[in-house]
Structure 1
Amino acid sequence: MGDKLTTKTYWESYYSHNHADKKHIKTVCGYYNDFWKTFIDSKNESSTIIEIGGFPGRYLAYLSSKFKLLPTCLDYNSDTSQIEASFRIMNVETYSVLQKDFTKYKTPQTYNYVLSNGFVEHFEDYNHILDLHVDYLAPKGRMLIMIPNMRGYIRFYKYLVDYQNLKIHNLKCMKLKVFKDFAQRHDLKVIHLGYFGGFPLGVHQKSNLFQKLIYKGHRLVFKYVANRLLLKKPSRFFSSSIITILEKQ
């Protein structure tokens, strides 16, 4: 398919620094612990999990270590060293890495858990990409999909200070209705669907003086005041993510 909004080179450059640090992994992934507990049935040890677009592997390594899962990472990046390092640092000894293009690969097996984080929104035909996820899900299996939310006020902020990052995301998929319709198409039970997180302050490009002032102003407002409120009451205008957990009937 030719509808990718990013390239392999982009992702290899984006994650060029080593992310296999245990403290960093626990901090980043632990932020979502309440969702992981809903997603994973901790009673079923040695269940299988696959992450779609899993590079550099930190979320998959974290979940596999925490819940004693058998992980598979599917990603088309040519460098698997960071994925393997993430597993090692989290003491996960048994794992698989599939260097495949998700849009073309046909899975020979299904998994108890399917994780997709920051993947769907990088395609024009996001509905087709969502539909392909279902091929990986075993009966009674669960799927967690997380994408950034760049609509509402966030879009205005990104346009001013992070436009290069904004334009490689498909904002059309960043609506709860997209996931409600997806669940309905495939008769999936919706366990959770909603917005989550504080305001996404991060900037992925060099900033001029004007942009730095905008960033610092927003940082003062959100990091020290508003984000505390957003974590208690998420907003479609200001919260950073959309998260859904679905179950196959």
Structure 2
Amino acid sequence: MNLTDRDFWLKYWENKKNLALKVNEKYILSAYLKRFKKENSIKNAIEIGGFPGYYSIYLKKWLNVDTTLLDYVIHPKVLDEVLSVNNMSKKDITLIETDLFNYQPTKKYDLVMSVGVIEHFDDTKNIIEMHTKFMDDNGVLFINIPNFTGFNGWLQKTFDPEIYAVHNISSMNIDLLKGICEELNLKNITVEYYGGFMMWLENLHTKHVLFRALFKIIWFVLKVISKLIPIESKTFSPYINIVAYK
């Protein structure tokens, strides 16, 4: 079962501010994408559930990869704004607006990736299997999801329960994810916590000014500590990354 629907995402993107982000060469997760390009000779890629397409833009703009963006909702106005600020247009990226579960791939890809997608579904194995259907022989699967099993998860659950509720927290389990990849006959599987300390709230701008000030102080102190002691862990890392091969 999906934990979100089309209306949820339409309202989400229409209410989201500052989406026209300029994607630079050191965009988050870029080190992974550069490595895949170099080691696996990536020529084409698909970003599943990736609207507004930051990684599709990155792959095309900085790595010259033929990129497809597939999502259930592609908001035309938002997409135009994001592409424009990156000096790109819709002709630079292939767009597929569809329900992933009712779509039969017509093409296979060297790289299949998603960021912040699989945790919105109850059946984690099923949604990962949907990704593998797009993989070419020797293709790379790269999935990034938030880690809400530590400090940041407590923050979301306590101060933004509506957003927390549309995430499948049980999917954020390294052993579970590795086991699913093994069951799907993927190879060279790596599942790991990623990133130093980070905390965020979708609705921070709606909170009282004193709360926002305290939030920033806590963020700053813990960020400094994480820089001095850079340990990726279940407690403080903001993400989980999955890398696997066909």
Bin for the TM-score computed over the shorter chain = 0.7 to 0.9
| Percent pairwise identity | 27
Residue 52 of structure 1: how far off its partner (Å): 0.5
Q: Bigger shift: 188-197 or 84-93? A: 84-93
**Paired position in structure 2 for 1:75:** 71
The structure 2 residue matched to 1:57, chosen from 53, 58, 77, is: 53
Once the two structures are superposed, residues 73-120 of structure 1 have per-residue CA deviations (whole angstroms, 9 ceiling, x without a partner) of 111115234335544525475321011011221112211110111000
* 2:129 is the alignment partner of 1:135: no
Residue 8 of structure 1: how far off its partner (Å): 2.1
Taking only aligned residues, the RMSD between alpha carbons, in angstroms, comes to: 2.5
Q: Mapping of 1:171-186 within 5 angstroms? A: 171-186=169-184
Residue 12 of structure 1: how far off its partner (Å): 2.7
Q: Bigger shift: 32-41 or 162-171? A: 32-41
> Could you tell me the TM-score, scaled by structure 2's length?
0.86
Amino acid at match of 2:235: F
Are 1:121 and 1:169, in contact at CA under 8 Å, matched by a contact in 2? yes
Residue 128 of structure 1: how far off its partner (Å): 0.8
The structure 1 residue matched to 2:124, chosen from 123, 126, 129, is: 126
Aligned length: 240
Return the alpha-carbon distance in structure 2 between the equivalents of residues 208 and 160 of structure 1: 15
Instruction: Name structure 2 gaps, 5 residues minimum.
Output: none
* 2:163 is the alignment partner of 1:165: yes
Residue 238 of structure 1: how far off its partner (Å): 0.9
The structure 2 residue matched to 1:100, chosen from 94, 98, 101, is: 98
* 2:14 is the alignment partner of 1:26: no
Are 2:52 and 2:74, in contact at CA under 8 Å, matched by a contact in 1? no
> Could you tell me the TM-score, scaled by structure 1's length?
0.85
Are 1:114 and 1:143, in contact at CA under 8 Å, matched by a contact in 2? yes
Q: Bigger shift: 184-193 or 85-94? A: 85-94
Amino acid at match of 2:28: Y
Aligned in 2, Cα 1:80/1:229: closer, same or farther, shift over 3 Å?
farther
Aligned in 2, Cα 1:169/1:214: closer, same or farther, shift over 3 Å?
farther
Aligned in 2, Cα 1:48/1:80: closer, same or farther, shift over 3 Å?
farther
Once the two structures are superposed, residues 153-204 of structure 1 have per-residue CA deviations (whole angstroms, 9 ceiling, x without a partner) of 3222222222222111110000111221122112212353211123332112
